């Protein structure tokens, strides 16, 4: 189903989160991992543009995905990139304090999409984020971005390195440029969103 994206708000505090009424999918990863490009591929340029609110890099940007009757079916939460600083027990000192409880306690959050760059070696910060997801028992999916920049052999090798480094059974390769893997990601998102 094709959804119409509608920007909701940029939350700088837990009190600003939208009412927990529909399933939410969170997108998170290091800065420059290709998160905005992936959001463009998933729901269209309109949504990604409004989610890139200037000066709000420390906010969680929420936007609803509306069905043909203009009813919200999903909410995407675009989290700020966690940069390259050492990730503490609370994920990262760079992240505002309200992000931890959002990820750990939000009842309508059904899936966290953890983005990793397939073009670089596995990063310790990504591993710490994945470990934290496991610790809080949050459902997550690791998505390797920018796979179009790699040849077949390099892609296979790098994806295996990510799986081994983070002890993963699955890594979903995607390319925002070619669209490879985007349909499979949509299937996973919709499946998570339909779970009660």
- DSSP string across 93-152: TTS-TTHHHHHHH-TTEEEEEEEEETTSPPPHHHHHHHHHHHHHT--EEEEEE-GGGS-H
> What pLDDT score does 100 carry?
83
The single-letter DSSP state of residue 172 is: E
- The pLDDT assigned to 44 comes to 76
SS3 19: coil
pLDDT reported for residue 48: 57
Output the pTM of the full model.
0.88
| Rounded Cα distance, 105 and 190, in Å | 21
Rounded distance between C-alpha atoms, residue 187 and residue 66, angstroms: 17
- What is the predicted pLDDT for the residue at 99? 83
How much is the pLDDT for 50? 46
Domains in the chain, start-ordered, CATH in brackets? Answer: 4-194 (3.40.50.300)
Q: Which residues of the chain have pLDDT under 50?
A: 50-56, 84-91
């Amino acid at each position: 189903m094709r959804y119409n994206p509608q920007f909701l708000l940029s939350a700088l505090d837990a009190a600003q989160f939208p009412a927990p009424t529909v399933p939410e999918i969170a997108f998170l990863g290091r800065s420059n991992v290709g998160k905005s490009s992936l959001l463009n591929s998933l729901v269209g340029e309109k949504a990604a543009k409004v989610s890139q609110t200037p000066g709000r890099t420390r906010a969680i940007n929420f936007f609803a995905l509306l069905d043909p009757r203009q009813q919200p079916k999903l909410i995407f939460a675009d989290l700020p990139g966690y940069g390259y600083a050492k990730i503490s027990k609370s994920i990262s000192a760079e992240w505002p304090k309200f992000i931890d409880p959002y990820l750990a306690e939000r009842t309508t959050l059904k899936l966290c999409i953890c983005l990793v760059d397939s073009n670089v070696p596995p990063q310790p910060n990504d591993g710490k984020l994945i470990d934290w997801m496991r610790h809080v028992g949050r459902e997550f999916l690791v998505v390797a971005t920018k796979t179009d920049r790699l040849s077949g052999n390099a892609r296979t090798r790098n994806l295996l390195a990510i799986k081994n480094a983070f002890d993963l059974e699955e890594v979903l390769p995607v390319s925002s440029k070619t669209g490879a893997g985007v349909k499979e990601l949509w299937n996973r998102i919709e499946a998570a969103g339909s779970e009660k």
